[in-house]
Chains A and B, each alone.
Chain A
Amino acid sequence: MEPIFHDLLAAGGGHAVAFYACSAVTIAAAILMVMKKNPVASVMWLVLSFIGLAGIYVTLQSYFIAVIQVLVYAGAIMVLFLFVIMLLNLRREDIAKMELPKVPFAGVIAAILFFVSVFLVIKASTPAFEKPVDALLGEPALAGDSVRAIGIPLFSQWLLPFEITSVLLLAAIVGAVALTKKKL
């Protein structure tokens, strides 16, 4: 599958089109996710946003990450969300109204400030980011974005965080059970 994407992206302007399309989908879906009053709709938009993000990963030639993104996020985590929403069977009035009282207002300002600072940093460091991404397409270091290329360092050099993650998942399982099991 990789060569197909590769060829598509390498075609004149293909990369830019793919990037803009995927970004537009991701951002629009994210905004809608925040705006929608019904949590079920929010989940759906978030799924779309994550799929768009997977598309962006593809334009970065991180195919394996893109697959994981769809499988784990769009597939597993979001199903869990939907499942909980259904389980709780929220009454209509509980489906939160969106409002902008004073405290959240500060949050919006904080978010804008945050974005502005990201933007300023990027602007200030532009020369550093100058490398166009599509020019990198053929560079050999990236040819190896396969399961193998990720797997080998993951199980050798980066084994330690991997092992910690196993404890983390165990703790999460124990905790989830301890918090929700009816009889303990």
Chain B
Amino acid sequence: MDAMNLHLMLPEIYLVLLGLVILIADLYLAPEKRFNLGWWTAGGLSVLAVWLFATPTPETVEFAGFGLYRADGFALFMKKVFALTGILVAVMSTGYLKRYGRGPGEFFSLVIFALTGMFMVASVNDFMSLFVSLELVTLCLFILAAYRRHDKLSGEAGIKYIIVGAMAAGLMLFGMAFIYGATGEVRFTYMGADGQLVLLSQTVANLESGWQMTALFGFTVLLVGLGFKVAAVPFHVWVPDVYQGAPTPVTAFLSVGSKAAGFILIIRVITLVVPTIAPGADLALVDQLVKLFALIAGLTLFYGNLAAIPQKNLKRLMGFSSIGHAGYLLLGIVAVLAMKAAGEETMNGVSAIAFYLFAYVFTNMAMFIGMVIFTQGSEDSHAIDDYAGLGKRAPLLALCMTIALLSLAGVPPLAGFFGKFYLISSIVEAARLDGYGWLLVLAAAGAVNVVISMYYYLCVVKRMYMLEPTSDEPIHLPPPAKIAMVACIVLVVVIGIFQGPFVQMATGVLATLGF
């Protein structure tokens, strides 16, 4: 444990170097060639993705960076998700930036640095790295959200995002300080005095009740801070404005990357720091968290989906829908917590979240690539009415966006369907535990929201197919973006039909979740 083990961190090192190469190459390239940096980025990230997918899932947890970095199955899985996200963001940004016409070097290097942060987030094993890496992610995203600096919306999005983001950082820091105060330790796993590996959750479990109370307060505040990052109600206020104002590729990046990073951290904190309590013991600590999260999950589901209904702007609608999806992912968290409260270590919730995120990447990215293609001019507005008659103007684009929307709504045989199925299944499993029968209400909420979300997604589909187009201008589909979009859609269908290998990938992360 007490070694740097640099070889485990090669993906991150590779990413930093890639970012630096892009940054420096930008200086030496002719201005008109600079936009090719997007292809450099996509290429570099593709190499990384292939590398990650070729890496076998580790059987045991390996530590690097003096025990501050853990290389385990969950981290590897999430890094795959991030690498794919990065590639797709790079592909859709290239055309977008060409139209916008400025700053490709900085843009792509920031995307890569944000990815570096996400990679670190996936592997953190202590609160310090957690804080610093998460801030690296959000800092890059602040800048990217405000990147269209001559656009009022973008600036507004940047300011709103940074205020909320910094507030969340403050809350997280405050919470971590209290957990540190209770335990005297910021590492999730560390060598105890007797040379044994200790899990921070064991330390918390062994504390006296006053300190446990302190730790519980710390968890709550920390998780509230993370709630901002994943856009859980009532910490969602920034989402619609930031989603609408940020450049569309950045919105896509936010909706997948930032959310996944937040959920990774919640899972890490829950599995490594929140104690598992043996049956019969005093449940107070974790039980409170179950109730808190169940409430938040229910509110998030209903708020996100209900507020999406009256939206007139597609980006804003996607923002609210992403709140709804955060609600679904929180169902998995509740399931994990309830299992923990009952003293069981089965973590179907985690693999459900992992699967859902994996499916969500392709679905959401296909949708956003479609939106980037749709805006032909340099302006970046997305009134839903503009999409009227898209089925006639650009059949392929409309088909892909429809499939993406239906997958988001959870319709078979698409990836989103199985994701929701898996999550609701995990919460029903938790509801079977003694004393947690009320979780069925949450499962019902998840089910009801399938119907609500179906409504507003279908409203968009309706405009595309059932209304007449408002303009006859043909829509040109640039080949790279088109290929990326179609590839995503094919994957959405493939994952939806042949879930087996992907579920196996998602359950594979469970083995190394602990030590």
Contact = CB atoms under 8 A, between A and B. Distances in A.
Q: Do chains A and B directly touch (beta carbons under 8 Å) in the complex? A: yes
Interface of A: 117-118, 121, 124-128, 156-161, 164-165, 167-168, 170-172, 174-175, 177-179, 184
Contacts of A167: 16, 19, 113, 116-117, 136
A156 B117 CA distance: 21
Contacts of B303: none
B208 A159 contact: no
A175 B106 contact: yes
Contacts of B19: 167
Contacts of B178: 121
Contacts of A171: 110, 113-114, 136, 139-140, 143
Contacts of A170: 113
Contacts of A121: 178, 213-214, 217
B50 interface: no
Which 5 residue pairs spanning A and B have beta carbons closest together? A175-B143, A160-B65, A125-B210, A128-B210, A178-B106
Contact of B129 (A125, A164, A179): A164
Given A159-B4, A160-B129, 6 more contacts: A158-B66, A158-B68, A160-B65, A161-B133, A167-B19, A175-B106
Contact of B110 (A128, A159, A174): A174
B487 interface: no
A172 B126 CA distance: 23
A124 B213 contact: yes
B106 A174 contact: yes
Interface string B412-452: 00000000000000000000000000000000000000000
12 contacts: A126-B210, A128-B210, A158-B128, A161-B68, A164-B132, A165-B132, A167-B113, A171-B140, A174-B143, A175-B139, A178-B147, A184-B102
Contact of B210 (A118, A124, A168, A179): A124
B68 A160 contact: yes
B9 to A, nearest CB: 8
A171 B108 CA distance: 11
Q: DSSP majority for the B interface?
A: helix
Nearest to A125: B210
Contacts of A156: 66
Contacts of A175: 106, 110, 139-140, 142-143
Interface in B109-165: 109-110, 113-114, 116-117, 120, 126, 128-129, 131-133, 135-136, 139-140, 142-143, 146-147, 149
Contacts of A118: 217
A164 B208 contact: no
Contacts of B182: 128
Contacts of A158: 66, 68, 128
A179 B146 contact: yes
A156 B102 CA distance: 41
Contacts of A124: 210, 213
Contacts of B44: none
Interface centre among A124, A161, A172, A177, by most B CB within 10 Å? A161
Nearest to A175: B143
B48 to A, nearest CB: 16
Contacts of B265: none
Contacts of A117: 217
A107 to B, nearest CB: 10
Contacts of B208: 128
A164 B210 contact: no
A160 B136 CA distance: 13
A127 B213 CA distance: 12
B16 A161 contact: no
B214 A168 contact: no
A161 B135 CA distance: 11
B19 to A, nearest CB: 8
B467 interface: no
B103 interface: yes
A164 B194 CA distance: 31
A150 to B, nearest CB: 13
Contacts of B139: 168, 171-172, 175
A14 B211 CA distance: 29
A160 B69 contact: yes
